[in-house]
Amino acid sequence: MASTEIGLHKPLIHGDKHLAQVTRDVCEPLERRASAFWWIGFLISLAVLILGLTAITYQISTGIGTWGLNNTVGWAFDITNFVFWIGIGHAGTLISAILFLLRQRWRTSVNRSAEAMTLFAVMCAGLFPLIHMGRPWLAYWVFPYPNFRGPLWINFRSPLAWDAFAISTYFIISAVFWYLGLVPDLATLRDRTAAGLRRSLYSFFSLGWNGSYRTWQRYETVYMLLAGLATPLVVSVHTIVSMDFATAIIPGWHSTIFPPYFVAGAIFSGMAMVLFLMILVRKAMHLEDYITPRHVDVMSKIIVATSGMVGLAYLTEFFTALYSGNQYEQFVFLNRALGPFAWAYWIMVSCNVLIPQLLWLRGVRAKLGLVLVICVLVNVGMWFERFVIIVTSLHRDYLPSNWANYSPTSIELATLAGSFGLFFTLFFVFCRFLPVIAMGEVKGVLSHGRRRTENPHES
Amino acid sequence: MSRRLFVATFEREQDILAVTGAVRQHNWNILDIYSPYAVHGLDKKMGLPPSRLPWVCFALGLVGASAKVGFEYWASWLDWPVNVGGKPWDSLPAFVPLTFEIMVLFAGVSTVMALFIVSRLFPGKKPQLISPRVTNDQFALVFEHTGGNVDIDEVHHLLKSYNAVGIEERVA
* Residue B123 falls inside a structural domain: no
Report yes or no: A225 and A92 within 8 Å, Cβ to Cβ.
no
- Look at residues B126, B32, B12 and name the one whose alpha carbon lies nearest to residue A190: B126
Q: What is the pLDDT of residue A270?
A: 92
* Residue B76 falls inside a structural domain: yes
Q: What is the mean pLDDT of residues A316-333?
A: 91
Q: What is the mean pLDDT of residues B60-73?
A: 94
| Range name among A147-156, A413-422, B113-122, B144-153 with the lowest pLDDT average | B144-153
The CA distance from A342 to A315, in Å, is 16
pLDDT digits (tens, 9 = 90+) for A41-63: 999 999 999 999 999 999 999 98
ipTM: 0.92
Nearest to A444 among B38, B51, B137 (CB): B38
- pLDDT grade, residue A455 (50/70/90)? very low
Check B101 against A441: CB less than 8 A apart.
no
- pLDDT grade, residue B170 (50/70/90)? confident
* Residue B87 falls inside a structural domain: yes
Q: What is the pLDDT of residue A1?
A: 44
Q: B168 pairs with which residues across the strands?
A: B7
Whether A459 has a pLDDT exceeding 80, the answer reads no
The CA distance from B47 to B45, in Å, is 5
Task: From chain B, pick out residues whose CB is under 8 angstroms from the CB of A190.
Answer: 127, 135
A164 — contact with chain B (CB < 8 Å)? Answer: no
| Angle between helices B13-25 and B152-161 in degrees, nearest 10 | 150
φ, ψ for residue B142 (rounded to 5)? -115, 120
B102 — contact with chain A (CB < 8 Å)? Answer: yes
CB within 8 Å of A366: residues ≥ 6 apart:
A293, A297
- Look at residues A446, A442, A454 and name the one whose alpha carbon lies nearest to residue A188: A442
Check B127 against A209: CB less than 8 A apart.
yes
Position A73: which residue type? Answer: V
* Residue A147 falls inside a structural domain: no
Whichever domain contains B22, its CATH number is 3.30.70.120
Whether A165 has a pLDDT exceeding 90, the answer reads yes
Whether A458 has a pLDDT exceeding 80, the answer reads no
Check B132 against A191: CB less than 8 A apart.
yes
Q: What is the pLDDT of residue A122?
A: 94
* Residue A146 falls inside a structural domain: no
Tell me which residue range forms the domain holding A320.
Answer: 3-138+155-452
Q: What is the tally of structural domains in chain B? A: 2
* Residue B114 falls inside a structural domain: yes
pLDDT digits (tens, 9 = 90+) for A3-40: 556 556 677 888 778 888 888 888 888 888 888 889 99
Same domain, yes or no, for B107 and B60?
Answer: yes
Tell me how many degrees the CA angle A279-A284-A287 measures, rounded to the nearest 5: 70
Task: From chain A, pick out residues whose CB is under 8 angstroms from the CB of B48.
Answer: 213-214, 217
Instruction: Please spell the DSSP secondary structure of B108-166, one letter per residue.
Output: HHHHHHHHHHHTT--TTPPP--SSTTTTTT-EEEEEE--SS---HHHHHHHHHHTT-SE
Report yes or no: A69 and A406 within 8 Å, Cβ to Cβ.
yes
- pLDDT grade, residue A194 (50/70/90)? confident
* Residue A10 falls inside a structural domain: yes
Task: From chain A, pick out residues whose CB is under 8 angstroms from the CB of B111.
Answer: 222, 225-226
Q: B-contacting residues of A 215-234, CB under 8 Å?
A: 215-222, 225-226, 229-230, 232-233
Whether A348 has a pLDDT exceeding 70, the answer reads yes
Check A188 against B137: CB less than 8 A apart.
no
Task: Quickly list H helices, A133-212.
Answer: 159-190, 197-205
Element (H, E) at B50: none
* Residue A258 falls inside a structural domain: yes
| Range name among A10-19, A256-265, A287-296, B17-26 with the lowest pLDDT average | A10-19
* Residue A186 falls inside a structural domain: yes
* Residue B157 falls inside a structural domain: yes
User: How many angstroms separate the Cα of A423 from the Cα of each of A206, A251, A274, B116, B156?
Assistant: 25, 33, 13, 30, 55
pLDDT digits (tens, 9 = 90+) for A367-402: 999 999 999 999 999 999 999 999 999 999 888 898
Nearest to A144 among B42, B75, B136 (CB): B75
* Residue A457 falls inside a structural domain: no
Tell me which residue range forms the domain holding B100.
Answer: 53-118
Task: From chain B, pick out residues whose CB is under 8 angstroms from the CB of A142.
Answer: none
Percentage of chain A beyond pLDDT 90 is 58
Q: What is the tally of structural domains in chain A? A: 1
Q: What is the mean pLDDT of residues A163-183?
A: 93
- Look at residues A446, A449, A452, A443 and name the one whose alpha carbon lies nearest to residue A27: A443
* Residue A144 falls inside a structural domain: no
* Residue A143 falls inside a structural domain: no
Q: What is the pLDDT of residue B115?
A: 93
Task: From chain A, pick out residues whose CB is under 8 angstroms from the CB of B50.
Answer: 221
B60 — contact with chain A (CB < 8 Å)? Answer: no
* Residue B90 falls inside a structural domain: yes
- pLDDT grade, residue A264 (50/70/90)? very high
Element (H, E) at B52: none
Check A151 against B94: CB less than 8 A apart.
no
φ, ψ for residue B2 (rounded to 5)? -75, 155
A101 — contact with chain B (CB < 8 Å)? Answer: no
- Please name the residue of chain A whose CA is at the shortest distance from the CA of residue B39: A444
End-to-end CA distance of chain A: 17
Q: What is the pLDDT of residue A456?
A: 44
Check A176 against B135: CB less than 8 A apart.
no
Same domain, yes or no, for B57 and B30?
Answer: no
Nearest to B123 among A192, A204, A214 (CB): A204
Q: What is the pLDDT of residue B2?
A: 60
pLDDT digits (tens, 9 = 90+) for A51-102: 999 999 999 999 889 999 988 998 999 999 999 999 999 988 888 888 888 8
End-to-end CA distance of chain B: 10
Task: From chain B, pick out residues whose CB is under 8 angstroms from the CB of A204.
Answer: 123-124
Q: What is the pLDDT of residue A59?
A: 92
Check B35 against A209: CB less than 8 A apart.
no
φ, ψ for residue B170 (rounded to 5)? -125, 145
Q: What is the pLDDT of residue B61?
A: 94
Task: From chain B, pick out residues whose CB is under 8 angstroms from the CB of A206.
Answer: 127
Mark A167-186 as b/e (b = at least 16 C-beta within 10 Å): bbbbbebbebbbebbbbbbb
* Residue B41 falls inside a structural domain: no
pLDDT digits (tens, 9 = 90+) for A356-367: 999 999 999 999
Task: From chain B, pick out residues whose CB is under 8 angstroms from the CB of A440.
Answer: 36-38
